[in-house]
Amino acid sequence: MVSFSSLEFLFRFLPIFLIAYFVVPAKYREIMLLIGSLVFYAVGEPVFLLLLILATVMNYYMGMKAWELGEGYTVQPWRLQKRKQIVIAAVVIDVLILAAFKCLSAFVDTALLPLGISFYIFKMISFQADILRGEIWNKPKFKYVALYFTMFPQVVSGPIMRYNEGEFDLDRTCGLEQFEDGLKYFILGLGMKVLLADRLAILWNDLQMIGFQSISTPLAWLGAAGYSLRLYFDFWGYSLMASGLMVMLGYDFIENFNHPYASKSISEFYRRWHVTLGSWFRDYVYIPLGGSRCDKKRIALNLAVVWLLTGIWHGNGFNYVIWGVVLGIMIILEKLVYGKYLQKIPILGNLYVLALIPLTWVVFAITDLKQLGIYFGRLFPLFGDAGIAVNQQDIFKYLSNYGIYLVAGIILCIPAVSGFYEKHRKNPVVIVLLAIVFWLSVYFLSSSAGNPFMYLNF
């Protein structure tokens, strides 16, 4: 039931929770959301519920100790030093928890990686850092902090909201129009996941089944493009569903994707892709290291550290390290060498992104380095020793099967399409189309086993 795109969530948990949430008086809704979030997590990951609770209690206790030491307009230096030590200790504990379970997952059993740990630990670290920087003005209550760490729309795969963005100490109201807007976002995300991402996943699964050594070069490029779109609509779909749920509950919408495939550089791509993760690394790693306020060598080092950590955060395989390092090198070169030329010639930047990003997603997708080498041998047949593909005409078969999904995905990557929806989202025709999307999604969910969101693995 941890997947938003499951019939159990859509027709059991969500309706029951929403009824309970809106029936109770407004002043108790945070408590109801906290209870619902713990139930949601317990059903999906009962073994690690205690870990989430203990980490929540520890971070609240240490955070409040640090907050109290910084209270007041003038604070003695020894109090500031003690406050810094407490925050550093809390962050170190959080990092060790994440690292320990990542190692257990990598070297013992993948089942030992708690659901959503990468996301809620990052929330805990940002909470501690914001206390140290004095960005949390009012002393937080335990129920608000616990809710912030555990709220079910975000606990599994983000977005990584900041504590202040929750505005937990304000009176929470949600009118019918806001609920309707949130529901529309949720349905859009569901459609992206079920009707696009899950269909494109079959293409990638087909290529794995027949073996990369057997596919032609055109099909290898089609597979790279299909995987790129699949990952995009899987995670964008999840983010829309999560943010839509938050809007339905009376919170602000959090944008996690901003049409990354319209970018003119790799740097811009990752400012638009998984926005909350990128801003987290920027604010809590890159800027504290010195950011761009340094000489060129230090800037390169800061970017290298950020992207190495990004690769490690995403997975345990060595391919994730390669993925992070490759992206880091490209972004460093953009920052220091040729980025200005990409900005001057926008179409060149667009083509550069559309050519390179799918190649980096291939590295992201294939954990076996030998198979990764074979795939790149297919992409670039003049290099390597991948051999001759068994069926040189296979591209036509897969285009006929998946072409409609690829075209639909490409169209939805165009920013103007989203602009058109935002302009006409109250139009009755659009509402009818959303209803059709919802019930088509339900039909596909009921007739298949369903695929979990890809970012549940991180």
Q: How many angstroms separate the CA atoms of 306 and 145, rounded?
A: 27
Residue 284 and residue 217 share a domain: yes
Q: How many angstroms separate the CA atoms of 125 and 74, rounded?
A: 26
Distances (CA, A) of 209 to 205, 213, 223, 328, 392: 6, 11, 13, 32, 17
Q: Which of 29, 99, 86 is nearest to 60 (CA)?
A: 86
Q: Is position 28 within any domain? A: yes
Last residue within a domain, chosen from 124, 152, 173: 173
Residue 201 and residue 161 share a domain: no
Last residue within a domain, chosen from 173, 208, 243: 173
Residue 109 and residue 232 share a domain: no
Last residue within a domain, chosen from 173, 204, 229: 173
Q: Is position 2 within any domain? A: no
Residue 223 and residue 320 share a domain: yes
Distances (CA, A) of 335 to 264, 292, 331: 13, 10, 6
Does 314 qualify as catalytic in the annotation?
Answer: yes
User: pLDDT at position 66, please?
Assistant: 92
Q: What are phi and psi of 257, to 5 degrees?
A: -140, 140
Residue 187 and residue 50 share a domain: no
Residue type, 155: V
Residue 198 and residue 164 share a domain: no
Number of domains into which the chain is organized: 2
Q: Is 300 helix (H, G, I), strand (E, B) or coil?
A: helix
Residue 254 and residue 127 share a domain: no
Q: Is position 385 within any domain? A: yes
Mean pLDDT of 358-370: 94
List pLDDT tens digits, range 390-409.
Answer: 677 889 999 999 999 999 99
Q: How many angstroms separate the CA atoms of 222 and 246, rounded?
A: 36
Mean pLDDT of 68-92: 84
Residue 261 and residue 343 share a domain: yes
Q: How many angstroms separate the CA atoms of 268 and 350, rounded?
A: 11
pTM: 0.92
Average pLDDT over the chain reads 90
Residue 365 and residue 347 share a domain: yes
User: pLDDT at position 390, please?
Assistant: 61
Mean pLDDT of 11-26: 94
For 63, the domain range is 7-173
List pLDDT tens digits, range 160-199.
Answer: 999 999 888 777 777 888 999 999 999 999 999 999 999 9
List pLDDT tens digits, range 266-294.
Answer: 999 999 999 999 999 999 999 999 988 88
Residue 184 and residue 169 share a domain: no
User: pLDDT at position 262, please?
Assistant: 94
The one catalytic residue among 259, 274, 314, 424: 314
Residue 168 and residue 204 share a domain: no
Residue 215 and residue 294 share a domain: yes
List pLDDT tens digits, range 87-112.
Answer: 999 999 999 999 999 999 888 888 88
